Structure formats: structure tokens, C-alpha cells
Amino acid sequence: GRDGKEHKLIIVGLDNAGKTTILYQYLLNDVVVTSPTIGSNVEEIQFKNLKFLMWDVGGQESLRSSWSTYYNAVEAVLLVIDSTDRERLTLIKEELYTMLAHDDLKSARLLVLANKQDLKGAMSAAEISKQFNLTSIKDHSWHIQACCALTGEGLYEGMEWLTDEMT
């Protein structure tokens, strides 16, 4: 936030969930410094005092062990869901709980972005919340937000929650 201190956030989700689109909506109209990809499939974007690290979860097993090297000092996890992708919901749920169990993410907030709400057949935020059993999460502060990355709808509200939590 407003204190000048650097904040580190990670944006994760399956491929095609809308991570890149969401990130650039957040950064719209501002100059963004994109570092060359720093790890196998990890992209780092520095914006003012915010550092975003972004990668696809659910990728090859061999890449997974390296993700945790980026967990240090992470203040927030943004999990982007393609709300029409019912088949892979269980997969992403497993990835989510594995992440939340990691020591370095103990104090990280969780923002779930239920993206692609404009598409027919999209699951609602309530439905995804139920599938993910989010109410069982007591050791992290979490929030789920319905959104559409194409129009930006819902993205501001999600970030509002996050900045309130972080300041």
C-alpha cells in the first residue's frame, strides 16, 4: 500500500484461467516493467511497490518443487479460476490446499477470482466456494470475487478487499 514498502503477491491458476489478462487489467494505463522470465515458467512483474509473480499451477510435477522457492515473504495469493472449467476444479482445489499448507504462506491472504463470469455456464462464486470448501479455511483470511477480466468487472472489488487486508 501507501507505506512505500514492497509487497509481494503471487498470481496462480491453471493455464488459460485469465491470469495474464487480469494482471494487465490491474496495471492498465501504467508503465510496467516485465523482467525476463526468472524461473522455468515464472514471470515477474514489478509495478511501483508491488511485485507480482505469476505462474500456472497444475503443470508438470518437475516444476512444482521450484514454486515454493518463490513463496518467501508472499503477502497474498491470487488464485484465478476459469469458472467454466468444471473438469479441472478438483485439480486446482488440490493445488490450493497444498499451497496453503506451506510454511512460507502461513500469513498470506487468499483472493480467489472466479473469472469468465460473462460466459454461459460459468459457475457462480458461491458454487466455487462450496466446491472448494472455502469456509473450512480458518488459518488464512480469504475472499472470493466473481469477475470478468475482459471488462474488468469485479477486479477492483477484489483488489479493494486485498488492500484493506494488507494495510
What contacts 166, CB < 8 A, 6 or more positions away?
Answer: 1, 7, 75, 76, 109
**Is position 117 annotated in a ligand binding site?**
yes
What contacts 21, CB < 8 A, 6 or more positions away?
Answer: 149, 150
What's the min distance (Å) between Cβ of 122 and ligand GDP?
A: 9
* CA-based nearest residue to 48, from 142, 165, 163: 163
* CA-based nearest residue to 111, from 45, 157, 72: 157
The 3-state DSSP class for residue 91 equals helix
- Contact call for residue 21 and ligand GDP (CB under 6 A): yes
- Residue type, position 31, single letter: V
Alpha carbon distance 96, 145 (integer Å): 16
- Contact call for residue 57 and ligand GDP (CB under 6 A): no
- Contact call for residue 19 and ligand GDP (CB under 6 A): yes
- Contact call for residue 84 and ligand GDP (CB under 6 A): no
**Is position 72 annotated in a ligand binding site?**
no
Of 16 and 72, which CB lies nearer to ligand GDP in the complex structure? 16
- Annotation says 46 is catalytic: no
Alpha carbon distance 153, 136 (integer Å): 27
Window 98-127: residues binding ligand GDP (CB under 6 A): 115-116, 118-119
What contacts 107, CB < 8 A, 6 or more positions away?
Answer: 75
Among the listed residues 25, 46, 60, 145, the single catalytic one is 60
**Is position 151 annotated in a ligand binding site?**
no
Window 130-159: residues binding ligand GDP (CB under 6 A): 148-150
Which residues are annotated as part of the binding site for Mg(2+)?
20, 37
- Going by the annotation, the residues of the binding site are 13-20, 37, 59, 115-118
Give me the active site residues, please.
Answer: 60
Interface ranges with ligand GDP (CB under 6 A): 13, 15-21, 115-116, 118-119, 148-150
